[in-house]
Amino acid sequence: MKRKILFLVLVAAMVLLVGCGTTTGPRFDAAATTQARIAELTNLTAVAASAGPDAALLQVPTQYFKLGPGDSLEIQLVGESTTPIATGGRAMPAVTIVGPDGKIYFNLLPGLDVWGLTLAETKALIENELTKYVREKPQVNVTLRSVASRQVWLLGRLSKPGIYPLTTPMTLLEALTVAGGTMSPTELASLGSGPMGVNYSEDFADLQRSFVIRNGQVLPVDFYRLLKQGDMTQNIYLQPDDFVYVPSAVTREVFVLGAVFQPRSVSYRKEMSLVAAIASAQGTIKDAYLSHVAVVRGSLTKPEIAVVDYKAITHGEVPDVLLEPGDIVYVPYVPYRTLERYANLILNTFVSTVAINEGARAVTRNVVPVGVSIGGGK
């Protein structure tokens, strides 16, 4: 009897469970929900192209070279006597280096501040100071031996990347030549085949994304027009501390910047979506303005931009979008006002990030890549 009652209780419980299941709505299809809807990015808009470099950037600099810390000088006394004044038996000419304080030390003279002086001004200063120790005004030859205070950064897919002295006026084309130019077919062929069967005999310098930074701003220089089409209107004169970067076209990355937890470049995977890229940057931060997430595509001089409602994507209201290698994803803090200014903000953030990381690698290999977040809306 007890067994019969227990059996009836179990049957009743099963009926109740089945009944409850029929009142919860449609069944959950796990397979269907894991198949993300991904669509092609179709709302790309071309940003107004730059008019190109200003005419002033193409003019030969007229200012004379001025000394700075690290510059090396060769100083020699000339005239009736070539014997140095209290040189401690050193042979002439003497070599001295401009110190971190901008001063040089020669013979009995105290430290002379030459920071910001031309070679002619330095020569006159030394001669005037030496008259305090000799009867007749001496004559001095001052020769620039090496330069460390005026340099340009030439990095990326170049045969001889590095930091180069800027002793005389130098155009962008001359600078690239000094750095060996983009890697020649012979040099590339010697590397053999790369990942996924890539043949290095092709030209893998990405001229569409090469750039020059000056005082934190990108100059409107089109490397493709300069190097492939011979357009000399792009051949600007460089200034000290200019940063020139020629990236590799082989690298397949997507750059995620702005209001994310870890702004960074992420390796592109086949059919990578916007959600996947942002997830690789550890997701968005609390104050991110998700309705105006931007995707910038194409060259730096002629970019295209699409503004995507990322919030609607994460809520399943609209499909996720496919990305391409080289895309720049930017998550803003505030809504944008004009598309052109928004694109300029993103591109300046991008090149600043690249310049910081590549410049740090040029100085030391033990560097942790950094991301750059800019909170201002445009």
What is the pLDDT, as a whole number, of residue 295?
Answer: 96
CATH topology of domain 252-363: Outer membrane lipoprotein wza fold like (3.10.560)
Distance CA 266, CA 332 (A): 18
What is the pLDDT, as a whole number, of residue 251?
Answer: 82
Q: Which residue has the tokens 């995620």?
A: 256
Angle made by CA atoms 271, 272, 273, in degrees to the nearest 5: 110
**pLDDT higher than threshold 70 for residue 298:** yes
* Sign of the alpha-carbon torsion through 153, 157, 158, 161: positive
**pLDDT higher than threshold 60 for residue 19:** no
What is the pLDDT, as a whole number, of residue 17?
Answer: 38
**pLDDT higher than threshold 90 for residue 324:** yes
CATH topology of domain 72-146: wza like fold (3.30.1950)
In whole angstroms, how far apart are CA 49 and each of 11, 125, 176, 221? 75, 50, 24, 11
Please state whether the peptide bond connecting residue 93 to the residue before it is cis, i.e. omega within 30 degrees of 0.
yes
pLDDT by residue (tens digit) across 341-375? 999 899 988 998 888 888 888 876 665 555 544 33
Among residues 332, 282, 265, 334, the alpha carbon closest in space to that of 305 is found at 332
> Token digits for 74?
């060769």
What is the pLDDT, as a whole number, of residue 365?
Answer: 65
**pLDDT higher than threshold 60 for residue 11:** no
Among residues 290, 315, 295, 293, the alpha carbon closest in space to that of 305 is found at 295
Q: Do domains 150-246 and 252-363 have the same CATH topology?
A: yes
pTM: 0.73
Helices (H), the chain: 2-21, 30-34, 119-130, 172-178, 185-189, 223-227, 274-280, 310-314, 339-363
Among residues 112, 133, 223, the alpha carbon closest in space to that of 175 is found at 223
Q: Where are the domains of the chain?
A: 72-146, 150-246, 252-363
pLDDT by residue (tens digit) across 24-67? 444 433 333 344 578 888 888 888 766 788 888 888 888 778 99
* Percentage of the residues of the chain whose pLDDT score is greater than 90: 48
pLDDT by residue (tens digit) across 325-346? 999 999 999 998 888 899 989 9
Distance CA 18, CA 349 (A): 58
CATH topology of domain 150-246: Outer membrane lipoprotein wza fold like (3.10.560)
pLDDT by residue (tens digit) across 250-260? 888 999 999 99
Mean pLDDT of the chain: 80
Which residue has better confidence, 62 or 270?
Answer: 270
